[in-house]
Amino acid sequence: MKVTFPHMGNLWICLDAMLQYLGIETVVPPPSSKKTLNLGSKHSPEFACMPLKLNLGNFMEASERGADTIVMAGGCGPCRFGYYAQVEHIILEDLGYKYSLVVMEPPEKHISELLSRIRYITGNKPWMEVIRGIKFGYRKARAVDRLEMAAMRKRPLEKRAGQTDTALTEALSIIAGSAYGKLDDAIARASEIMDQIPVDRKPVLKIGLVGEIYTLLEPFANLDIERKLGRLGVEVDRSIYLSEWVNDHLFMGLIKGLRSSSLYIKSSAPYMRHFVGGHGQETLGAAVYYNKKGYDGIIQVLPFTCMPEIVAQSILPGFSRDTGMPVMTLIVDEQTGESGYLTRLEAFVDLLAEKGARKEELA
């Protein structure tokens, strides 16, 4: 059995660690690229969103490297994603690929449901081992998130353009390559690399990224928005991090002390009191949260045709009117032309900077 999984940012580091610890052979697909998108969109329904097309492309490329089993997340609720694992599997079968499929779905009642799906892959490994493997993967996810957060803080301040990203790449590869038992040491080394980036002291603008999880986490999908904003002198935070999402949705909040989507659900109340699928409600809640935290602006990112985010998008102008918080929505699809995208980002940053300058004048 050679197991593969779709890309979503640095998710692969955590999945790869977990599976390899359990002695399962893995095939990490090549990073999502134009080739992945071309392969995926050629065989996907035209009206599906970009995540489905990229998932499919990932699986096709992984198959070239010998993968035969897919581990894929599922979901519930009105977002189509809950059905993507099955749809993708059928498309792959029609194309003649021989894949077996394991869907990791958020447990409906109890964490044991998740464990039994993991059992399918792990075979007769003792439970303690399985749990240790999951914990190992989770700790890597947490470490990766911390590194990404550090990069988002450092980018606007770096003395030389690109230094943060060079450091981040190195730090991530240390985490990715570290074996069980050596992780603490790897985390220490990786964070030291991030600490050593030379930075200037200067005021920065702060933007909160909200929206759909896949497009937030996958730099290929969001055209590297964190990096672009960082280079424009903006400190970025995003409403969803992998480890927080895993804790919320797969561990059902087992680990305490992490920022959780329940916080967003609570704060979304003035604008949306219902689950609308996907992360629609979290998007509004996170907008309210960033406003309270004193951020300068909010950018919503979503894949074209994403229903839950469209619902949120239509309510965001009302939030913006009430609070005076500037909000911009970016819809991503198959386009890879970056100049129009960069124009919008630059203009939004200009807007925030001018607004900030005006506030200071009046104060």
Partner 1 sequence: MIGFIGLDVGSVSTNIVFLDDEGKVRESVYLRTNGRPIPAVQKGLRQISRLVPLRTVIRGVGATGSGRHLAGIIAGADVIKNEITSHATASSRLVPGVRTVLEIGGQDSKIIVLRDGIVADFAMNTVCAAGTGSFLDQQAARLNVKIEDFGGLSLKASSPVRIAGRCAVFAESDMIHKQQMGYDLPDILAGLCEALVRNYLNNVGKGKDISGPVVFQGGVAANLGMRSAFERALNKEIIVPPNYDVMGAVGAAMLARDYVSRGAPTGFKGFGAAETDFHAGSFECDGCPNCCEVVELSENGAVIARWGDRCGKWSNNVSREKIS
Among residue numbers 339 through 358, which ones bind partner 1 (CB under 8 A)?
339-340, 342-344, 346-348, 350-351, 354-355, 358
Q: How far is the CB of 23 from partner 1 (least distance, A)?
A: 27
> Which amino acid would we find at residue 273?
R
Nearer to partner 1, 248 or 296 (CB): 296
Of 153 and 227, which CB lies nearer to partner 1 in the complex structure? 227
Cβ closest to partner 1, residue 269 vs residue 347: 347
Q: By the 8 A CB rule, do 215 and 305 touch?
A: no
What does the H/E/C string look like for 87-138? HHHHHHHHCCCCCEEEEECCCCCCHHHHHHHHHHHHCCCCHHHHHHHHHHHH
Given 74, 77, 78, 326, the residue binding partner 1 (CB under 8 A)? 326
Which is closer to partner 1, CB of 165 or CB of 237?
165
Work out which of 78, 199, 224, 307 binds partner 1, going by CB under 8 A: 224
- Told to check if 7 binds partner 1 by CB under 8 A, we report no
Q: Is 31 in the site for partner 1 (CB under 8 A)?
A: yes
Q: Which of 138, 167, 164, 178 has the alpha carbon at shortest distance from 11?
A: 138
Could you say which DSSP state residue 223 is in?
T
> By the 8 A CB rule, do 303 and 276 touch?
no
Q: Which amino acid is at 307?
A: M
Q: Among 8, 5, 1, 3, which Cα is nearest to 218's?
A: 8
Span of 119-127, 178-186, 265-273, 331-339 interacting with partner 1 by CB under 8 A: 331-339
227 vs 158: CA distance, rounded Å: 12
Question: Residue 112 or 343: which CB sits closer to partner 1?
Answer: 343
Answer yes or no whether residue 30 interacts with partner 1 by CB under 8 A: yes
* Phi/psi at 208 (5° precision): -100, 130
Nearer to partner 1, 86 or 169 (CB): 169
Task: Establish if 331 lies at the interface with partner 1 (CB under 8 A).
Answer: yes
For residues 119 and 151, is the Cβ–Cβ distance under 8 A? no
Per CB under 8 A, 321 contacts partner 1: yes
3-state secondary structure of 272: coil
Residues between 240 and 259 with contacts to partner 1, criterion CB under 8 A: none
Q: Does 123 bind partner 1 (CB under 8 A)?
A: no
* Rama region for 67: left / alpha / beta (φ>0; ψ in -120 to 50; rest): beta
**Residues 184-223 interacting with partner 1 (rule: CB under 8 A):** none
Give me the residues that bind partner 1 (CB under 8 A), please. Answer: 30-31, 33-34, 160-162, 165-166, 169, 224, 227, 231-232, 304, 314, 317, 320-321, 326, 328, 331, 333, 339-340, 342-344, 346-348, 350-351, 354-355, 358
